[in-house]
């Protein structure tokens, strides 16, 4: 469209006042932009906002996929906290998983990032190798591989047998099953590691030189200089990884065969939600579970942001 | 507390590349020494080797007679002020000042006393609770110096501490650092590429170029008796004029030079043979245009005049086409394009041989 045609179009619209004309004017000016946005808009409203709103409604009904939903008020939510021991189990498992896997993963990621940051030769190669598990991480294939590794006759036990250790069946023993999932999660330390590495690169070298002149040991330099200056990155990684951990599903599903076995020891929240929805067709209850998970994640994130001003150091 | 520093055949290599080629230097207790030289000549490297931030490839470094090569930086009794200040951004000014003492587990009263004293000296007491980001460049600079003071070092090192400040503040801080040196009496080594800073602050200037010392000595010694072309050109502003010359004649007590289209008689012998090509050097401020104030030198054409108020800088061309600058006291009216007569005092002229050494 040429400049002159744009101008005459808008002048024409200005002569007749009215909503239609205003809309026409907007359309004339921005129409192509909205056309380009359309595929995303359809997806956003059709596949994200729509289902979300629907599920919020369903969480107050007894929907079972087959019959029409009936409004039941807050009884789904009440049931969660009063009459559902399995929900309590799922909460326990999920919190245990979050509380152990996130700090371990972050600590491990930071450790590797610091090793890689010491001016290693071939850094890009190592970075890629260490990042690989994160790429493969949540895939079904890796979960299956993990099951093979930690099975009773798996590679881990075969390896331990070399030293005369008779390892348990890690994944079918309720004492260890959740830990194998935590180890799997920690092993996927690649993406926080990359972010830590970028953060470490930002810390000026002369900060460490000044600290070493001040007599600070490497350890003191770490917790007085590195860690405080890295808190924005720690904060970011902690939030992202915690949300990931709350939402974690595939590994538990594959390793326990979708049951959360043994004795609900790997019954992740999302796994329980899945069972309720697609195992027992209690869609209304599953929707309530989903919304409660969202509320928990939101509460955690809000809490993190509120406390961040006490421990996160921002440079500006 | 003041310490002597001695460098003996100090070398530094990065891989196969040697960047410091055997430096010998004695710094007396309490001396304010300035390392000066063009970018990349190795000033920072030398300073960082003294600090212990950079391993010494060869030679010995002694502080108060003790060999320091293998002593870790923190144990050398030095403090360093970085060009970037290197303040800890997440700590308050107070914490920045006390970090070293806290690391050394000094008693609380001692920390408080020393921080208070440093803050007093530098007049940063009202800033103690602020974070570095809430400070101006000059205030950061003070904090960086304060951090050095609280350590009560026997040797202060400064690596271009003023280069991030604006011109006015630079002059002010220059004076303050010089005052600080007078008050504390510590040995200080100061790196800069600004020869005015070097001239104004130093007890001893060390002119470096390409990893070796060109000349070391008191500022006026370097100004009056530069050993070679490099030092002559580096020290002084505006720069010394260098003119092509030829030795015309030589006898016991005098020498005759053909320079700038005229013939100049020196009252001293020049260490060169008749017919040698040499370089004749004279500072802009040592040329006059008043008859009788020296030997007649050359008739030059005025190209450009700069009025600085207290000084008038005149850019001219000699009869043989070389550029020559004059710096005259006071305010002078000189028409552009005019021919003027110049006069010099041959005692304040320098002659350099083809290798660049003074003769
Ligand atoms: N880490 C390094 N690896 C290799 N060469 C280096 C290293 N650090 C410095 N150099 C080289 O050593 C020489 C001296 O560097 P140095 O930083 O001491 O110069 P400088 O005199 O301080 O310069 P400037 O005035 O620009 O700060 C330079 O040629 C530089 O390229
Ligand atoms: Mg430097």
CATH code of B61's domain: 3.40.50.300
Per-residue pLDDT for A204 more than 60? yes
Per-residue pLDDT for A1 more than 60? no
In tens, the pLDDT along A214-261 reads 999 999 999 999 999 999 999 999 999 999 999 988 888 887 777 777
Residue A189: band (very low, low, confident or very high) from pLDDT cuts 50, 70, 90? confident
* B186 to chain A, closest Cα gap in Å: 18
Q: What is the predicted pLDDT for the residue at A5?
A: 43
Per-residue pLDDT for A44 more than 90? yes
Is residue B281 in some structural domain? Answer: yes
In tens, the pLDDT along A119-140 reads 777 778 888 888 887 777 667 7
Label the pairing between strands B323-329 and B311-317.
Answer: antiparallel
Is residue B131 in some structural domain? Answer: yes
Domains: count for chain B: 2
Is residue B198 in some structural domain? Answer: yes
Opening angle at CA A107, ends A102 and A112, nearest 5: 125
> B35, B43, B49: which to mutate for ligand 1, most atoms within 8 A of CB?
B43
Is residue B359 in some structural domain? Answer: no
Residues with CB under 5 A from ligand 2 (ion): B 44
Do residues B157 and B271 both lie within one domain?
no
Do residues B131 and B193 both lie within one domain?
yes
Average pLDDT over residues A99-119: 91
- The dihedral built from the CA positions of residue B271, B274, B275 and B280, taken in this order, carries a sign that is positive
Threshold 0.90, pTM exceeds: no
Which residue, of B183, B207, B234, is where some domain finishes? B234
CB count within 10 Å of CB A280 equals: 11
> Is the model more confident about A73 or about A232?
A232
The answer for A253, left when phi > 0, alpha when psi is -120 to 50, beta otherwise, is: alpha
Opening angle at CA B275, ends B270 and B276, nearest 5: 60
Do residues B181 and B298 both lie within one domain?
no
C-alpha distance from residue B229 to each of A49, B298, B352 (Å): 78, 22, 7
Which residue, of B199, B234, B269, is where some domain finishes? B234
Q: What is the predicted pLDDT for the residue at B32?
A: 95
Is residue B126 in some structural domain? Answer: yes
Compute mean pLDDT per 10 residues along chain B, 359 residues long, and list them. Answer: 89 93 93 93 94 93 92 91 92 94 92 92 90 90 91 92 87 89 92 90 94 94 94 92 90 84 84 88 92 85 93 93 92 91 90 90
CB pairs < 8 Å spanning A and B: 58
Do residues B230 and B135 both lie within one domain?
yes
Where helices occur in chain A by DSSP H, the ranges are 3-15, 19-43, 50-58, 75-82, 85-116, 123-136, 140-150, 155-161, 177-187, 190-202, 205-213, 218-221, 227-247, 250-255, 269-274, 283-311
Q: What is the predicted pLDDT for the residue at A14?
A: 45
Give the residue from B71, B37, B65 showing the smallest Cα distance to B51.
B71
Q: What is the predicted pLDDT for the residue at A84?
A: 86
> B40, B46, B50, B53: which to mutate for ligand 1, most atoms within 8 A of CB?
B40
Do residues B53 and B91 both lie within one domain?
yes
Do residues B180 and B271 both lie within one domain?
no
Per-residue pLDDT for A4 more than 80? no
Is residue B173 in some structural domain? Answer: yes
Residue B323, domain extent: 241-352
Chain A residues with CB within 8 Å of chain B CB: 204, 206-207, 209-216, 220, 224-225, 228-229, 313, 315-316
Which residue, of B205, B234, B263, is where some domain finishes? B234
Per-residue pLDDT for A6 more than 50? no
Residue nearest to atom 17 of ligand 1 (CA): B44
As to burial, measured by CB atoms within 10 angstroms (0-12 exposed, 13-18 middle, 19+ buried), residue A222 is middle
Question: Where is B7: in which H helix or E strand?
Answer: strand B5-14
CB–CB contact A214 B99 (8 Å): yes
Give the residue from B239, B242, B262, B265 showing the smallest Cα distance to B254.
B265
Average pLDDT, chain A: 85
Structure token pair of residue A218: 């490497």
Do residues B348 and B256 both lie within one domain?
yes
Do residues B155 and B70 both lie within one domain?
yes
Is residue B358 in some structural domain? Answer: no
Do residues B298 and B181 both lie within one domain?
no
In tens, the pLDDT along A129-176 reads 888 877 776 677 777 887 788 877 778 888 888 887 777 777 777 788
Do residues B225 and B299 both lie within one domain?
no
Per-residue pLDDT for A8 more than 70? no
Q: What is the predicted pLDDT for the residue at A2?
A: 43
* A213 to chain B, closest Cα gap in Å: 5
Do residues B292 and B209 both lie within one domain?
no
Is residue B13 in some structural domain? Answer: yes
Do residues B221 and B330 both lie within one domain?
no
**Which CATH number fits the domain that encloses residue B257?**
2.40.50.140
């Amino acid at each position: 469209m040429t400049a002159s045609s744009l101008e005459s179009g808008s002048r024409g619209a200005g002569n007749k006042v009215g909503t239609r004309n205003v809309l026409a004017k907007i359309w004339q000016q921005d129409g192509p932009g909205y056309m380009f946005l359309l595929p995303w808009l359809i997806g956003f409203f059709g596949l994200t906002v729509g289902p979300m709103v629907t599920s919020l409604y369903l969480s107050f009904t007894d929907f079972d996929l087959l019959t029409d939903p009936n409004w039941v008020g807050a009884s789904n939510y009440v049931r969660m906290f009063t009459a559902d021991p399995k929900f309590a189990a799922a909460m326990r498992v999920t919190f245990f998983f979050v509380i152990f896997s996130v700090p371990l993963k972050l600590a491990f990621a930071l450790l590797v990032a610091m090793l890689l940051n010491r001016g290693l030769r071939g850094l890009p190669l190592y970075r890629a190798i260490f990042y690989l598990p994160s790429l493969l991480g949540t895939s079904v294939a890796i979960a299956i591989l993990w099951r093979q590794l930690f099975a009773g006759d798996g590679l881990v036990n075969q390896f331990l047998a070399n030293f005369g250790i008779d390892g348990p069946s890690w994944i079918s023993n309720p004492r260890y099953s959740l830990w194998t999932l935590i180890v799997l999660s920690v092993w996927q330390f690649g993406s926080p590691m990359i972010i830590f590495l970028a953060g470490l690169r930002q810390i000026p070298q002369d900060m460490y030189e000044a600290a070493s002149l001040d007599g600070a040991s490497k350890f003191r330099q770490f917790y007085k200089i590195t860690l405080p200056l890295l808190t924005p990155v720690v904060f970011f990684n902690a939030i992202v990884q915690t949300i990931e951990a709350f939402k974690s599903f595939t590994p538990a599903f594959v390793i326990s065969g979708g049951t959360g076995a043994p004795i609900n020891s790997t019954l992740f929240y999302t796994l329980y939600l899945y069972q309720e929805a697609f195992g027992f067709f209690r869609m209304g209850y599953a929707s309530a579970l989903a919304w409660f998970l969202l509320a928990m994640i939101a509460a955690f994130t809000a809490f993190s942001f509120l406390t961040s001003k006490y421990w996160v150091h921002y440079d500006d | 507390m003041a310490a002597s520093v001695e460098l003996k055949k100090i070398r530094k290599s990065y891989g196969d590349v040697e960047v410091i080629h055997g430096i010998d230097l004695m710094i007396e207790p309490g001396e304010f020494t300035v390392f000066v030289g063009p970018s990349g000549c190795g000033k920072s490297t030398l300073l960082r080797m003294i600090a212990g931030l950079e391993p010494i490839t060869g030679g010995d470094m002694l502080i108060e007679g003790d060999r320091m090569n293998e002593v870790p930086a923190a144990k050398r009794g030095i403090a360093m002020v970085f060009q970037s200040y290197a303040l800890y951004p997440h700590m308050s000014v107070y914490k920045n000042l006390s970090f070293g003492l806290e690391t050394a587990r000094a008693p609380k009263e001692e920390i408080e006393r020393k921080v208070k004293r440093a803050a007093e000296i530098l007049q940063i007491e009202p800033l103690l609770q602020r974070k570095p980001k809430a400070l101006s460049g000059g205030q950061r600079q003070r904090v960086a110096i304060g951090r050095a003071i609280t350590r009560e070092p026997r040797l202060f090192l400064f690596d271009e501490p003023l280069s991030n400040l604006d011109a006015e503040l630079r002059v002010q801080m220059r004076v303050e650092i010089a005052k600080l040196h007078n008050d504390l009496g510590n040995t200080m080594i100061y790196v800069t590429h600004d020869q005015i800073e070097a001239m104004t602050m130093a007890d001893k200037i060390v002119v470096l170029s390409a990893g070796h010392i060109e000349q070391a000595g008191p500022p006026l010694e370097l100004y009056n008796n530069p050993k070679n072309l490099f030092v002559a050109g580096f020290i002084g502003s505006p720069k010394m004029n260098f003119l092509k010359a030829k030795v015309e004649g030589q006898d016991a007590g005098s020498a005759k030079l053909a320079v700038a289209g005229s013939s100049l008689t020196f009252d001293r012998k020049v260490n060169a043979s008749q017919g040698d090509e040499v370089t004749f050097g004279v500072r802009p401020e040592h040329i006059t245009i008043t008859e009788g104030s020296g030997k007649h030198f050359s008739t030059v054409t005025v190209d450009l005049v700069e009025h600085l108020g207290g000084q008038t800088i005149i850019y001219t061309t000699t009869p043989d086409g070389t550029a020559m600058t004059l710096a005259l006291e006071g305010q002078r009216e000189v028409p552009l394009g005019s021919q003027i007569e110049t006069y010099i005092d041959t005692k304040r002229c320098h002659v350099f041989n083809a290798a660049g050494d003074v003769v």
